[in-house]
Structure 1
Amino acid sequence: MTSNTSLGGRTALVTGGAIGIGAGIAVELAARGARVAVTYRTHEPDAELLGRLRELSGAEPIAISVDATDESQVAELPARLSDAFGGVDILVNNVGGLVQRATISDMDYALWRRVLAVNLDSLFLVTHHLLPTMRDGAGRIINVASLAGRNGGHAGATAYAASKAAIFGFTRGLAKEVAPRGITVNALAPGFIEATPFHDTFTTPESKAATIATIPVGRAGVPADVASAAAWLAQPDASFISGAVIDINGAQYFG
């Protein structure tokens, strides 16, 4: 984590920002001077995280309970953030999840729709409702995808991989749409990142060890590895970087 004031005076929203990669990004943005809000659904941010965000940024953080797949709830975000922040400069779409490992043969349509809703509908809804509030010339949208969108993921993750691959197309299309406003849109594609609910829930110790053994740098990633890339894209001087997908996987895979 780097402490500086490169994002001083800016406001940021990190969806799913109370744990794992989202929390890591929230902390890094705060360390660079941004005032941070996080959304959560099942993982409410604890006092330690909120205290750290407050200490690093020098401003009171905001935690908002919202189901990012429910438009009626997402539609309330702009007003809530406007009251507290006066708007959002940096939007990190981090909400997502595997939901359940299942092959396409065994998966019913309801599960398929749930996976796409969590990973793709949430991205659309939050972006759709917050875009009008973002300042021209200053907006930064960062979408958290996955290496699974590149390589198809592990067994039982086809729906997840499809939804994450779709984020690449969303990112590039939106980058063109909002370029005239001076807003950039980029995506991150993390590989194996430890200390996250994803692998704690869906990956066995044996599978973790086998995957880490294939990473050329010799270790698993951590949330801070993703956070540093997100903070770099959020910088005011990153105005010519848009439509990019940044792979964060320790040289395990090249897109």
Structure 2
Amino acid sequence: MQIDNSEERIRNIHQDLLEVYGEQDWHDDKDGVRQLLVTILSQNVADENTARAAENLFKDFKNYEEIENASVDELADSINPAGLPQTKAQRIQRTLKALREHGDKEDYSVEFLGDMEDSDAQDWLEEIKGIGPKTASVLLNFHFDADVMPVDTHVERIAKRFRLIPFSASNGKAHELLNEAVPHDIKNSFHMLIIEHGKNNCSARNPTCEETKLKRYCSRYELVENGDLTPEEYPPEEME
């Protein structure tokens, strides 16, 4: 499979995504700490479950200090709709502790990250156990408009099918390659639109590529059209 992640091709994909789905609304919470905690809740779970867990969290606890000092069981019970409640409760409390202890002033803020180079801010966040490239990139891109590309499961899957990155690329490598390839001025929009395409058409199983003009970018659809795969089959490298 020949990789083509040229700027021209990526901008063409972006334009076609816009024509199919329209510009996507995105919300910067203004409170970066809240945004970071909600992003932790969103790890590997549907949006509606994230919303329920976030609503519970900020209803059950008055402030970040209460969240940090709660028992893990109490916090886990509050965020249970997000799945993996014990694990995510510990991640949230580790994150709040790291933010509070940073610098001379003990408070809960992410604003110091805006004074760092993007790569340094990403590294600082990823030093917190449970925060990976995607969670860090979401905060930096949405809250600070940093030149980083969040890569979730939808983005990674579609980037591989669209031949933007190799199928063999790890999630970390996918972040690296897409950060380099996707122009800064469309990173946020491209990320949101790819997620929309993943939810609506390019699902992990039984994708409906033929229903949109985006099929022309898809390596899997090309194999089906050429008779090399049936619609129910997947390229061997995608199944690895």
Higher strand proportion: 1
TM-score (norm. length: structure 1): 0.28
Larger relative contact order, structure 1 or 2 (CA cutoff 8 Å, min sep 6): 2
The structure with more radius of gyration: 2
